[in-house]
């Protein structure tokens, strides 16, 4: 019983750590919206930092307080999806079954949006990009969390048995 | 590369890490499940490789063109910062960046810029690579549905 409680506590701590890290990452990318002089004063450095993960096209990014978000609308959606899901999985009563099929289904809208606007079927929409990003981000987060926790859980059980 | 970056955005390095896991499975013909340590290791190595190539490519392009996205976006960033009314903080913050920008425009190289982009690339690519490694592991090992509880 004690080892089971310990595992649950470790699982919660692990998820809480992921939530905090995601929150820090997300705070950085929406820093133009946060009225903090010190955060604003490092804007060019943050922009350079986030440029490694996104093209930062101004026409494809949300704006706030006259400043552009540090990643595009799609990436903002993906990270927002990860942030929200990392918060939801902290609630112990919520159980979500995750299969590869769901990953494919929820990735499809994003892929379709990229292909359709690239082909010129419609104009680029930040809202569509963000929504499809949220769907993809939240599903892929659950998928990765499941993979990591399963591996760690097996190790923990092995450790408890020895 | 800019075209690929435009298309796949932040999914480039995780995608490469997933691909590396699939390639390893194909080359070794192993039927064993890939463990987390190996998957994260593959992701990390993919991130490090990407960092080296991206930094080299960026420095080469900067050296020959004597400009880059960072320098081109600097006036816009400065304008935004001045609109935020940060006072003397703006000049303090921009001092280092402007000296870096001058060096690049003059000689096409700045040691400080190299250090900043190398560490920035290393940090993000290694983390995103490891995330891709974990995703690749789940995809390769998939059989029964997982349950998040």
How open is the CA angle B54-B60-B65, to the nearest 5 degrees?
Answer: 125
Q: Which of A88-97, A152-161, B84-93, B125-134 has the lowest mean pLDDT?
A: A152-161
pLDDT number for residue B46: 95
ipTM for the whole complex: 0.77
Let me know if B72 is exposed, middle or buried by CB neighbors in 10 A (0-12, 13-18, 19+): exposed
Q: How confident is residue B143, by pLDDT bands cut at 50, 70 and 90?
A: low
> What are the backbone angles phi and psi of residue B7, rounded to the nearest 5°?
-80, -50
In 3D space, the residue among A112, A154, A118 whose CA is nearest the CA of residue A135 turns out to be A112
Q: How many other C-beta atoms lie within 10 A of the C-beta of residue B132?
A: 29
Query: Using a CB-CB distance cutoff of 8 angstroms, which residues of chain B are in contact with residue A152?
Result: 36
Average pLDDT over chain A, rounded to an integer: 87
Check: CB of residue A68 under 8 Å from CB of residue B109: no
Residue from the list B77, B89, B124 with its beta carbon closest to the beta carbon of A37 = B89
- B21-51: buried (b, 16+ CB within 10 Å) or exposed (e) per residue? beebbeeeeeeeebebeebbebbbbbbebbb
User: Does the CB of B49 have a partner CB in chain A at under 8 Å?
Assistant: no
Q: Which of A73-77, B6-10, B98-102 has the lowest mean pLDDT?
A: B6-10
* Mean pLDDT, range A97-112, rounded to an integer: 88
Inter-chain CB proximity B147 and A74 less than 8 Å: no
Q: Which of A6-10, A88-92, B53-57 has the lowest mean pLDDT?
A: A6-10
pLDDT number for residue A45: 87
Q: How confident is residue A40, by pLDDT bands cut at 50, 70 and 90?
A: confident
Average pLDDT over chain B, rounded to an integer: 85
Taking the C-alpha atoms of residue B27 and residue B29, their distance in angstroms, rounded to an integer, is 6
> What are the backbone angles phi and psi of residue A20, rounded to the nearest 5°?
-65, -45
| Torsion sign across C-alpha atoms A100, A106, A112, A113 | negative
Q: pLDDT: is A67 or A71 the higher one?
A: A71
pLDDT number for residue A141: 93
Q: Taking a contact as any Cβ pair under 8 Å apart, which residues of chain A between 71 and 110 contact chain B?
A: 71-72, 74-75, 78, 89, 92, 94-100
> Angle A126-161/B36-65 helices, nearest 10 degrees?
140
Q: How many residues does chain B have?
A: 149
Taking the C-alpha atoms of residue B149 and residue A12, their distance in angstroms, rounded to an integer, is 10
pLDDT number for residue B147: 56
B1: nearest CA in chain A? A55
Taking the C-alpha atoms of residue A40 and residue B132, their distance in angstroms, rounded to an integer, is 31
> What are the backbone angles phi and psi of residue B147, rounded to the nearest 5°?
-135, 120
Question: Which residue in the block uniquely carries the two structure tokens 């690339």?
Answer: B121
Question: Which residue in the block uniquely carries the two structure tokens 């905090």?
Answer: A20
Let me know if B106 is exposed, middle or buried by CB neighbors in 10 A (0-12, 13-18, 19+): exposed
* Mean pLDDT, range A52-76, rounded to an integer: 89
Percentage of residues of chain A with pLDDT beyond 90? 46
Taking the C-alpha atoms of residue B37 and residue B35, their distance in angstroms, rounded to an integer, is 6
Inter-chain CB proximity B84 and A67 less than 8 Å: yes
pLDDT number for residue B18: 92
pLDDT number for residue A157: 66
User: Does the CB of A32 have a partner CB in chain B at under 8 Å?
Assistant: yes
pTM value > 0.95: no
């Amino acid at each position: 019983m004690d080892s089971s409680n310990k595992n649950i506590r470790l699982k919660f701590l692990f998820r809480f750590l992921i939530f905090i890290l995601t929150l820090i990452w997300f705070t950085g990318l929406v820093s133009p919206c946060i009225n903090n002089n010190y955060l604003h004063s490092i804007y060019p450095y943050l922009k350079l930092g986030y440029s490694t993960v996104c093209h930062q096209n101004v026409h494809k990014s949300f704006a706030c307080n006259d400043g552009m978000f540090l990643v595009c609308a799609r990436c903002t959606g993906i990270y927002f999806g990860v942030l929200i899901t990392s918060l939801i999985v902290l609630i112990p009563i919520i159980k979500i079954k995750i299969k590869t099929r769901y990953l494919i289904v929820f990735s499809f809208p994003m892929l379709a949006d990229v292909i359709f606007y690239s082909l010129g079927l419609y104009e680029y929409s930040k809202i569509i990009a963000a929504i499809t990003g949220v769907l993809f981000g939240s599903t892929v987060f659950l998928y990765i969390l499941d993979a990591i926790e399963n591996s760690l859980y097996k190790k923990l059980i092995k450790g408890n048995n020895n | 590369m800019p075209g690929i970056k435009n298309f796949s955005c932040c999914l480039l390095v995780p995608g490469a890490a997933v691909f590396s896991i699939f390639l390893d499975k194909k080359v070794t013909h192993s039927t064993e499940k890939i463990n987390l340590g190996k998957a994260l290791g593959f992701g990390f190595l993919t991130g490090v490789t990407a960092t080296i190539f991206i930094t080299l490519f960026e420095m080469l392009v900067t050296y020959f063109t004597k400009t880059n996205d960072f320098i081109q976006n600097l006036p816009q960033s400065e304008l935004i910062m001045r609109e935020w009314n940060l006072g003397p903080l703006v000049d303090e913050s921009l001092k280092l960046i402007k000296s870096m920008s001058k060096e690049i425009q003059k000689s096409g190289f700045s040691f400080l810029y190299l250090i900043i982009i190398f560490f920035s690339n290393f940090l993000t690519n290694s983390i995103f690579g490891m995330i891709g490694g974990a995703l690749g592991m789940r995809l390769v090992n998939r059989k029964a549905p997982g349950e998040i509880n």
